Structure 1
């Protein structure tokens, strides 16, 4: 393994001019174009050609590489959909060992299994749509394209020297990567001025969109399509992490818009009763509140969504996190009506 040449983009970004940032974004996507333009016959992960794999799960590319299984055999789009649901089922613990202190919107083990069986049928039905098939071209892309994984020249930060952290990269449908927005292209609120964005963030977001359209048309095409066509695919495999309410919401919305989306026949997932919908809407509010809080904390503490913090900022962020926690705790304890603060205390 070679040492990554250059310096992390996360260390240079704040000192770069807008012109440099835009040229850097263009350089990133010019380099990634070389990867995205490669044509693959199947979905899966890349292996060296000599890797010992079962013949049925191995597809040769050339003398150096082959495509092998990624969380199970995923050849065509139909088996890929089954693979997503199978992954979700594999992450659900047995009933007798499931944690008891789950969030109220998380859902029981039987509920998850019930939703996923409907999800399997819905995905298989949707995958037959020609628009989804055209947006499902097997594509290799970086799974975590953020500033910390991009290295640039210390002398000229518009020159990309290395992109690291490819170990979990895999060949997925193009739409799988299409909704990802790297941290250098997010329009972030200004930390000091209300109703204002961070300097250059709007222009960088625009540059990202233009570079994606020009350099990566495979990803630009599904980005331009209705997101509702892809949401059930993107989130079904992680129901145990997100909670049943999130995937149920996607299924409800898919069922509701089935005809509007131009999908054939009727949705295999039945529309909920008024009582079921009332319960779902209440639980979904808890889910949204939890994630809004997480996103707020991520922005306030200037961390990655997975909690990653640069080593040199660790002590500062840890102190800010503790101070923020104390403020939130004091706020919760000062609320007199227990029903009003129930959501905050629980979630």
Structure 2
């Protein structure tokens, strides 16, 4: 297909989301069968034999629709579907309209100069699809339009509420500090209830620096290993992944040694603690 055909397909697929957004749910949570073995006081009835029950995160049910390849197509039970607020998805883009993930370790300008004509056309095609999706969300889907117009400060805090098991306390603490700084500017009532002490702020500064370093490391590893954020690797690629892991670890430790020599905060001991895998 050419760029115009891709754009039209993206437009049609995006308009399907309008139908899904028209659905109204009485609560946020997961959709289960009405006879699921869960306490009655935790069930909110829906139509056609379904109900909404407590949220079940991927941590407990790691079988999302995008991870079927991990199960070789043999597992047809994808677990409960999720009903969440529109602002949770305001910054998320489906695969058919998403931009490629950038490697923070690469020079963007240098990379663009190395692209072939076909690769440039492909990037332009992807950009058009992304803009088409964004236009449909903003102009034709009221829930998403309102969510996208919100100040990101409002929903980032909620986003981190259910990713703290992965991102840790420093991330959500930083959002609280940012919210506190902009409390009056955002025209929120009263005063921000979060009032950390000077000692807590000093501890947080160190912890948040480690958090940012860890996130950069994980992003680099995810791109290098071509894996998901959970680090899943197919069995047939395991041996190659172990070799790549060893090479990445050696490079990470060498970087820490260089940082120590230049009197930066990173040390070999800290690098060891931040490394996310048991394998070295």
Q: Secondary structure at the match of 2:143?
A: helix
The 8 Å contact of residues 183 and 191 in structure 2, kept in 1 or not, is answered as: yes
| 1:62 paired residue number | 47
The 8 Å contact of residues 303 and 309 in structure 1, kept in 2 or not, is answered as: yes
Matched, 1:261 2:181: no
- Give 1:260 shift: 1.0
Q: Distance in 1 between matches of 2:140 and 2:65?
A: 16
List aligned pairs for 1:111-130, cutoff 5 A.
Answer: none
Give the counterpart of 1:45 among 13, 16, 30.
30
Matched, 1:344 2:271: yes
List aligned pairs for 1:130-279, cutoff 5 A.
Answer: 167-184=79-96, 185-189=98-102, 194-195=108-109, 196=111, 199-200=122-123, 201-214=126-139, 216-270=141-195, 272-279=196-203
Q: Unaligned regions of 5+ residues in structure 1, if any?
A: 1-15, 72-86, 92-142, 151-163
CA pair 64-214 structure 1, distance change in 2 beyond 3 A: farther
CA pair 336-24 structure 1, distance change in 2 beyond 3 A: same
Choose between structure 1 and 2 for higher RCO, CA contacts under 8 A separated by at least 6 residues: 1
What's the TM-score once normalised by structure 2's chain length? 0.70
The 8 Å contact of residues 57 and 68 in structure 1, kept in 2 or not, is answered as: yes
Q: Distance in 2 between matches of 1:48 and 1:55?
A: 12
Q: Distance in 1 between matches of 2:9 and 2:102?
A: 22
| 1:126 paired residue number | none
| 1:297 paired residue number | 221
Q: Unaligned regions of 5+ residues in structure 2, if any?
A: 70-75, 113-118, 275-280
Q: Secondary structure at the match of 2:261?
A: coil
The 8 Å contact of residues 25 and 208 in structure 1, kept in 2 or not, is answered as: yes
- Give 1:43 shift: 2.2
| Structure 1 vs Structure 2 CA RMSD | 3.8
| 1:282 paired residue number | 206
